[in-house]
Amino acid sequence: MLINRRAMLQESALRFGSLALSSMSFDDSWGGEQSSHDLPGSHHPASAKSIIFLFMSGAPGQTDTFDPKPALTKLDGQRVPESIAATVPNIPRAGVESRLFASPFTFRQYGESGIPVSSLFPRTAAFVDDLCVVRSLNHRVPVHGPGECIALTGTGVGDRPSMGAWVNYGLGSESRDLPGFVVLLSNVTGPPPQLPGWGAGFLPSRYQGTLVDGNKGVPYTEMPSGYTESSRRLQLDFINEMNRRHLSQLGPDSELEARIASYELGYRMQASAPEVFDLSQESARTRELYGLDQKGTSEFGAHCLLARRLVERGVRCVQLRNGGWDAHGNLKSNHLQGGRNTDQPIAALLGDLKRRGLLETTLVVWGGEFGRTPTIEGNRTGDARGRDHSPAGYTMWLAGGGVKGGQIVGATDELGYVPVERPLTPADMHATLLHAIGIDQHRLIYAHNNRDEIPTVFGGEVIREVFS
């Protein structure tokens, strides 16, 4: 029997009640539905509900930001002492044959903790008693792309899920109308963004990050012209039923299941997402606080404000990638610009979260893919001097989400080359982030190619000092 399109749509709509219910059930079962180890929720009491990762791409120098080295000032222009050069791993571009380069920035102690912070971050420094500064991170890859993959996925190959995808897989979003993992890119200069940094890897694609335009919001969430909410609902009901029929014939298929879920989430976002990304609703004072009225800070400031709005509405993980920190030359002007563009927005974010009672449940993380050498790259002189890549020792900090602030974990040598106290890896950091939101890295499992995969495939232990 032939059925015309109108009749088929009407029939589909009448029978959609049970389909809608199953679709909503599908959307709500975010955590571990495709794993043999079902995850109805977290593994242990969580100290954080959300994570905001302030990823400084290109890599700020640790000795210019949060790990001051007075010895560099004394030895400026001299060769690296043999006693330290001998401890530096055999990593390309380590620069141990180059001359030492004193930081062009000054450091001051702030807060009750007295933690020193560079003159690049005077506003962020006001929150130093909320920061746990980890100075002893290290790995062995001195190249941006693989380094970014290590920082965000755990390996340099880019074939594994990002940490945000693992979080989304384990816990999902508290909001039915927004994705569990959102990514915003600012100052996209220098090393290009690495797609694995927010990709799903071998996890079903529904867990990947949603890349958002800070000005326009989530792509394609505006209602198409000529549609009302009810006619759009009818259209999507029909599409979903066709997809469900196909799925029942095809059998389990993560890509098709992701498509079904994305249609449903996309419909709900058409109602909620435009409001979330409409910053005109914020007061003039708030917009000024984040620097939205200034050219240098407006883009990253808007992203920081959006991050607050997103976690406020239940988004589990927000990654803000800020580029431009790759200072092979002209480090002074490069880092000055990076500091000017990000310091005020970061301080505004920390303060805003704190005032709203959200910092207690939001883990904020800052850092890049590696650090920079304590030496000059090449033969540049004066303000033209810069530093090469140095994964052998670098700094990140954490705040909120159960973190014990006002403390320093780990230490590098007197020049800032390698850890000499509590050496830690990106895998340790990942285990720590997961622990904060209630996930045990060893129990978050996804069966892939006959192997039970976990987020920290190459090891990694929770940095317990962060929380105590």
Q: Where are the domains of the chain?
A: 18-31+50-218+277-467
pLDDT in the model for residue 419? 98
Closest CA to 41 of 463, 440, 455: 440
The DSSP letter of residue 9 is H
Write the DSSP string, 146-195: HHHHHHHHSSSSS-S--HHHHHHHHT--S-SSS-SEEEEEES--SSPP-G
Residue 76, number of CB atoms within 10 A of its CB: 13
Q: State residue 9's pLDDT score.
A: 36
At residue 113, the pLDDT reads: 98
What CATH architecture does domain 18-31+50-218+277-467 belong to? 3-Layer(aba) Sandwich (3.40)
* Per-residue model confidence (pLDDT) at position 13: 34
Tens of pLDDT, residue by residue over 358-373, are: 999 999 999 999 999 9
Rounded Cα distance between 390 and 373, Å, is 5
CA geometry: angle 454, 42, 423, nearest 5 deg: 50
- Name residues whose C-beta falls within 8 Å of residue 280's C-beta, 6 or more positions apart in sequence: none
Tell me which residues of the chain have a pLDDT lower than 50.
1-40
pLDDT of residue 22: 27
pLDDT attached to residue 1: 38
Q: Which two tokens stand for residue 259?
A: 């498509």
Query: Which H or E run includes 109?
Result: strand 107-110
pTM of the model: 0.86
* C-alpha to C-alpha distance for 108 and 309, rounded to whole angstroms: 32
Q: Which two tokens stand for residue 151?
A: 């920082």
Q: What is the pLDDT of residue 44?
A: 93
How far is the C-alpha of 375 from the C-alpha of 411, rounded, in Å? 18
Query: Alpha carbon of 125 to those of 111, 422, 454: distances in Å?
Result: 8, 24, 36
Residue 206 DSSP label: G
